[in-house]
Amino acid sequence: MTTLAIIGGTGLTRMDGLTVTRREMVKTPYGAPSCPIVFGELGGRQVAFLARHGSTHRIPPHRINYCANIWALHSVGIKRILAVGAVGGICERCSVGTIVIPDQIIDYTYARESTFFDGGDDPVEHIDFSYPYDDNLRSALIAGAKSTDGLNVVEEGVYGVTQGPRLETASEIRRMAADGCTIVGMTGMPEAALAAELGLAYACCAVVVNTAAGINGQKVDTASLPASISSGMNNAVRVLGNSLQSSVLVEA
Ligand code: HPA
């Protein structure tokens, strides 16, 4: 049984190269996850895969049942999650096509079910979330990205998570840049916090698919998005394949 899962985001609803052994639709106390968990082998390693937006990419970021997804992964024995997400680049280094392995998060989302500690009979628990991403998993992703030919890799970053589904205004991005955000996406939270609440190690492979709103006085180039998502996610799959070779990710 594997303890490692990949969560795929926009443009990554199935993993090319994954030899599927079985699929399981897990029932959770929080409702249905986005889709069945797919189990299989990638690059000689057993992994589980879950498509965050559903197998046909129909679930928008604010409607994803993050609690059910993370609970489902935990309930099948997953202990480590590599999460892939498409993002906009805010800082100069995060140009389109760059792979960013963020080390921090600022959460601007609202009205999402964002905790497993939601009252009831259990005592309230306030988890430590000072450093939201797991260092070992980040190292594996960084090593995987650096060993992938032809990629611009940024080894740290502050992932600002917005509510969506609309993109941001130029002023919102200016404010986020002033806050310290270097990338912006819509699905990094509450996913990371829910994983932490269940004691799962979690790291993010962010793929820059556009320059964020208002940078250099430009609107978001939405016409180019499908092509950049497609090529960015192809790169993310290569990065994951290489990261899985890292000794950090060998099953204990
Ligand atoms: N903003 C928010 N989420 C995103 C973006 C963006 O510019 N690009 C991809 N996901």
Per-residue b or e along 194-221, where b marks 16 or more CB atoms closer than 10 Å to that residue's CB: bbbbbebbbbbbbbbbbbbbbbeeeebe
CA distances for 243 relative to 4, 6, 16, 152, angstroms = 12, 12, 15, 16
Q: Given a cut of 60, is residue 252 above it in pLDDT?
A: no
Average pLDDT over residues 11-30: 91
User: Is-cis flag, bond preceding 190, omega within 30?
Assistant: yes
> Which of the two residues, 204 and 43, has the higher pLDDT score?
204
Q: Which of 168, 221, 231 is the pocket-test mutation for ligand 1 (most atoms within 8 Å of CB)?
A: 168
Q: Which of 184, 189, 204, 229 is the pocket-test mutation for ligand 1 (most atoms within 8 Å of CB)?
A: 184
Q: Is 208 in the pocket of ligand 1 (CB under 6 A)?
A: no
Q: Given a cut of 90, is residue 44 above it in pLDDT?
A: no
Q: Is 64 in the pocket of ligand 1 (CB under 6 A)?
A: no
* Both structure tokens of 58: 């129909």
Q: Given a cut of 80, is residue 7 above it in pLDDT?
A: yes
Give the Å distance between the CA of 134 and the centre of ligand 1. 23
Q: Is 86 in the pocket of ligand 1 (CB under 6 A)?
A: yes
Atom 9 of ligand 1, nearest CA residue: 87
Whether 35 and 74 have beta carbons less than 8 Å apart is answered as: no
What pLDDT sits at residue 251? 60
Give the Å distance between the CA of 212 and the centre of ligand 1. 7
pLDDT 10s digits, 203-232: 999 999 999 999 999 999 999 999 999 999
| % residues pLDDT > 70 (the chain) | 99
Q: Given a cut of 60, is residue 238 above it in pLDDT?
A: yes
Lowest-confidence region among 9-13, 67-71, 90-94, 195-199 = 9-13
pTM: 0.97
Q: Is 187 in the pocket of ligand 1 (CB under 6 A)?
A: no
User: Cα separation of 186 and 157, whole Å?
Assistant: 15
